[in-house]
Structure 1
Amino acid sequence: MTDTHVPRLVGLTVPQARKTGHDAGVVVTSRDVDGPPLGALTWPGTWIVTAQHPTAGERVPRGTPVAVDFEERPDAGGAGDREPRHPLPRRDEPEADPLRDRAE
């Protein structure tokens, strides 16, 4: 089996870390190998890798698991509902009538 160097994963999002690890020949996992898979633990949301073991630069056999710690990045507005909100008409004002407004 050939060896590979562990890439630096700290600071990457979990999907980026998983791809980077895959490309380097290692398997990125959560620390709890008996728990839910990493993808299930970090969905939905944006999760950032905060620590890894083994550390970046270590030489390991291909296929070695690299355990990561991660935390959720606070939502900065996200892709939530962006439809414009218009105030509802006041109860004492008649609702607009588009046909009447065009005739004037």
Structure 2
Amino acid sequence: MTWTGPSGVGEVTVPDIVGLIVTHARDVAWEFGLILATDDPDRPPLGALTWPGVWVVTTQRPAPGSRMRRMGFLVIEFEEQSGGSAGDREPRRPPPHLDGLTAELVPEADPGQPGERPRPPH
């Protein structure tokens, strides 16, 4: 049994997060009272390592079903899902139809005085 986390707190059962996207795995771990971490404390934070792109949890320690202290570290390894951050970023929705749309027309300014609107006749 691996005891990780502060002493004097309750125990929790470790969830199975292998196969989940890291951002979702972090939410699941938090709901169980655990904190996701990498095996190297000197690495950048998990959020910096898994952005941009889609990263999937490949292994976890301790194993699912183990008991550990609440707010302990659930150590994961992860890899980028194929097609992660490469490719186009624009939306793939079709453009709107412009049939029937009109804009309010502003009368042209007097060529002798740029930027000034013509005055209505008296």
Distance in 2 between residues matched to 1:78 and 1:62, nearest whole Å: 40
Higher alpha-carbon deviation: 31-40 or 70-79: 70-79
Greater per-residue strand proportion: 1
Asked whether 1:8 is paired with 2:21, we answer no
Query: In percent, how many aligned pairs have the same letter?
Result: 40
Mapped to 2, the partners of 1:47 and 1:35 lie a distance apart of: 16
Aligned residues: 84
Higher helix share: 1
Q: TM-score, normalised by structure 2?
A: 0.63
Secondary structure at the counterpart of residue 11 of structure 1: coil
Give the number of the structure whose alpha-carbon radius of gyration is greater.
2
In the TM superposition, what is the alpha-carbon distance from 1:49 to its structure 2 partner?
0.1
Identify which of 43, 53, 63 aligns with 2:71. Answer: 63
**Runs (5+) with no aligned partner, structure 2:** 1-8, 93-122
Normalising by structure 1, we get a TM-score of 0.73
| Structure 1 stretch displaced more, 22-31 or 73-82 | 73-82
Deviates more, 1:37-46 or 1:68-77: 68-77
Q: CA deviation at 1:75?
A: 1.1
